Chains A and B, each alone.
Chain A
Amino acid sequence: MTSPIGPSTPASAALIATGDSCSPLGETGLLPDPTAQLSGAALNDAMGALYLSLSQQRQLSMQSGEASVRADQALHDQQLADETAALQRQLANEAENGRGFFGSIGHLFDDMAQDVADGHLSSLFGDISRDADQAWNSPAFWSDLEKGALAVAKVALAVGAVAATVATAGAGGVLVAGAAVALSAGGTAVTETHCFGGASTGVGLSLELGGAALGFAGGLAAVGAGTGSRVIAAVGAGCTVAGGGAEAVAGGAHIRNGDFAVQAQDAAADAEQANLGASQLQTIAEWVVDELKASDKTQQRAEESLTGAMQTNDQAAVSAASISLRG
C-alpha cells in the first residue's frame, strides 16, 4: 500500500531533520535511527514528527472518506431517479392508463368537429394523426377494444349459429338450435364461474361438446329446408362473418395488450434493479461512515497517546534535571 504520509511532506521533513539523531527523510523512514543514542529532545522531535504524520493521515483519511461518501450519494440519487422513472413507465403501461376506446373515438370526433367548426382544416390531419397516435399508445384503448370485440364476437357467433340451424331445420330446428345454444352457453358459464369446483373445466367442456354435437345433428336433419329459410341462413352467415372478424380484432388487440404488459413488467424489473442498487449503495455509505468514525477515533487516541508519551518524556527530563541540580 502506498502510504498517505508521503516523505515529501515539507513539515515532516523539517521536523525530522532537526532531530539530533534522526536520519534525513527518505533514507530510513520517518523515525530516528534505532541504533543511535537518543536524547530526550530527539525523542520529542521524533514523537512530534510522528504526531504530525498521524494528524495528517487522520485528515487525509477523513477527506478520502468524505469523497467516497459523496460519490456514493451521487450514485444513490441517480438510482432513485432511475427508479422513479421506471415506476412512471410501469404506471403508463398499466391497462387502466390512458383514454379508453369510446373516449379516444369521442376525442377524435371532438377534435375533428372543432377543426371544421373553426375552419382550421389545415390542422385537421395533424389532430387526427395525434389522436390516432395517442390511441395506439393508450393501454386502456386496446383493453377496451379487446373486451368489446370479444363480447361482439360471442353474441354474433351465437346468433349466426342459431340462424344457421333454424334456416336448415325449420320450426323443429328452433328447438334443436335452442337446446344446442343452451348447452353451449351452459358450458361456457360453468367454465367461467367454476361452479363445479375442480371439475368445472371438464363439465363445461362436455356441455360445449354436447351443444356442438346437437347443433351438428340438427344441421343434418335440416336437409330440404324451404326457400324462406335462405334469408335466415344469409343473416346467420353474416353474423358468423362479423363474429369471426370481431374475434380476429380481439386477437390483434390481445397481442397489443400483451406488448403493454411486457413493457410494464420490464419497467417493474428496472425499478427493482434501481431500488436494489440504491439500497446497496446506502448500505455501503453507512459502512464507510461507520469505519471512518472508528478510524478517526483510533487515530485520535493514537495522537493522545503520543501527547501523553511526550509529556512523560518531559517529566522524566525535568526529574533528571532536578536530581542533578540537587546532587
Chain B
Amino acid sequence: MTTSRIGICQGQSPVASASTATATADAALIDPASDVSTSLPAPCAGLALSGDPGAELAVLAVRSGEVERNDARVERDADLAIEISEGNLEVADMRQKADDIGTAALDDGLGMMAKGAGDIGAGLSSRQAGALDQGAGTAAQGGLSILSGGYKAAEATDDANATQCKTAADTAQHAADDMHDASKNASDYITAALDFFREYVSTQSLSRNAALHRA
C-alpha cells in the first residue's frame, strides 16, 4: 500500500505537483525548449542572447539552478526508491526468519517426540528390543536436530541480512535528505537570481525615467 501510494517505483515524483508549480512560476526566464511545460510563453527566451549583460547573467543563473534542482530531485527520488526497496527486503528477511523459527521448532519438537516414543518403547519391551527402540528414537532425534540446526543457522543469516538492509535503507534515507537540501538550495539560488534580475530591471527603468524627465 505504501509503495503504491508513494508511487516512486512507477517513476513518479512524490512531490511532482509542487515541483511543477515552482517550475511554472520560474518559467519566465527559462528556455522554452526545456522540458518544463507551461501554459505561458517564454517572453524572456531571447534574454540569453540579448546582449544585456545583466539579463544574460540572470538567465544563466536560473538555468544553472534549474538543472541543479532537477538533478537533485531525480537523485532524491532515486534514493527514496532505494530506501523503500531496502525496507521491503528487510521486512522480507524478518518474515523468512519467522518461517525458519517455525521449521526449526517443528524439527526439534518432532525429535523430542521421537525420542520420547523410543523411551516408551524401551520401557514396555524386553531389554534388547527396548535398547533398539531407544536407539531408534535417539537416532531420529539426532537427525532432526541436525535439520533444526540448519534452520537455526538460517535464522542468524536472516538477522544479518535484515540488519544489512536496514543499514542500507538508513543510508539511502540520509542521502535523500541531503539531496532534498540540495534541491532547496538550488531553489534559493534561482530565487536569488530572479531577485537580482528584478532589481536590475527596476533600476534600469528608474534610470530611463530619470533620463526622460531630464530630457
Contact = CB atoms under 8 A, between A and B. Distances in A.
Interface in A310-326: 312, 315-316, 319-320, 323
B41 interface: yes
Contact of B113 (A252, A269, A292): A252
A280 interface: yes
Given A255-B105, A308-B198, A284 B26 contact: no
Mostly helix, strand, loop or mixed at chain B's interface? helix
Interface string B16-35: 01111110111010000000
Contact of A312 (B104, B123, B205): B205
A160 B184 CA distance: 78
Contacts of B209: 312, 315-316, 319
A19 interface: no
Contact of A61 (B17, B84, B215): B17
B60 interface: no
Contacts of B116: 153, 243-251
Interface stretch (A123-131, A174-182, A293-301): A293-301
Nearest to A274: B2
B180 interface: yes
Interface stretch (A105-113, A186-194, A257-265): A257-265
A64 interface: yes
A22 interface: no
Contact of A265 (B80, B94, B183): B94
B136 interface: no
Contacts of B122: 240, 244
Nearest to B92: A269
A298 B119 contact: no
A108 B58 CA distance: 84
Contacts of B102: 258-259, 261-262
Given A245-B116, A251-B111, A269-B91, A31 B40 contact: yes
A241 B105 contact: no
A221 B215 CA distance: 136
A294 B98 contact: no
Contact of A240 (B6, B119, B195): B119
Contact of A295 (B18, B37, B38): B18
A288 B137 CA distance: 65
A123 to B, nearest CB: 35
Interface residues of B, number: 81
Contacts of A11: none
Interface footprint category on A: 35 or more
A301 B39 contact: no
A255 B106 contact: yes
A280 B22 contact: no
B39 A29 contact: yes
Nearest to A276: B87
Nearest to A267: B98
A265 B25 contact: no
Contact of B15 (A3, A79, A284): A284
8 contacts: A251-B109, A252-B113, A258-B102, A265-B98, A280-B2, A284-B80, A290-B180, A309-B201
Nearest 10 Cβ contacts at the A-B interface: A258-B105, A244-B119, A251-B112, A248-B116, A3-B39, A247-B116, A240-B123, A291-B18, A255-B109, A277-B2
Given A68-B17, A298-B22, 15 more contacts: A30-B39, A75-B2, A164-B127, A240-B119, A243-B119, A248-B120, A250-B112, A251-B112, A262-B98, A269-B98, A280-B80, A291-B22, A315-B205, A315-B209, A316-B205
Interface of A: 1, 3, 5, 29-31, 50, 53-54, 57-58, 61, 64-65, 68, 75, 79, 153, 157, 160, 164, 168, 219, 237-255, 257-259, 261-262, 265-266, 268-269, 272-273, 276-277, 279-281, 283-284, 287-288, 290-292, 294-295, 297-299, 301-302, 304-305, 308-309, 312, 315-316, 319-320, 323
